[in-house]
Amino acid sequence: MNDYLPVLFMALFGVLFATAALGVSALLGQRGRQNRVKNTPYECGMPIESHAHARFSVKFYIVAMLFILFDVEVVFMYPWAVSFGNSDFARDAFPGTGLLLAEAAAFVVVLFLGWVYVVKKGVLEWHQEA
């Protein structure tokens, strides 16, 4: 855990830096008058139309779900990659290089089939109405 202590230092430095920057600006910044127009959302000077939290395409949620599926699988492949790339481990390991490769192949094929399904379903077609 000692290896990660400097990371904590850096995170603390980041927090202090951000706080100081925001604090300096709040303390030294020009004080302007508040008025109703200034407090409205910025829409390039046009009168505001409709509520800010309008509905947006459901595609964004689908992309988020796909991200979770695919990214978790990518993370699962990292331990495999390191064990496979480490020649000592791959030679001495029980399954041997061939089986290690076959296991990864099965995993990647399933991932790829999932990707084909997603594409065929038209999930990634952004010009169509959802």
Q: What are phi and psi of 49, to 5 degrees?
A: -115, 135
Examine residue 113 and tell whether it contacts other proteins (CB under 8 A): no
Examine residue 78 and tell whether it contacts other proteins (CB under 8 A): yes
Among 43, 110, 113, 121, binds other proteins (CB under 8 A): 43
- Report the C-alpha gap between 26 and 95 in whole angstroms: 62
Total binding residues toward other proteins, as defined by CB under 8 A:
72
Shortest separation between residue 94's beta carbon and other proteins, angstroms? 17
Examine residue 81 and tell whether it contacts other proteins (CB under 8 A): yes
The dihedral over CA atoms of 39, 40, 42, 48, expressed in degrees to the nearest 10, equals -170
Examine residue 54 and tell whether it contacts other proteins (CB under 8 A): yes
- Report the C-alpha gap between 42 and 47 in whole angstroms: 9
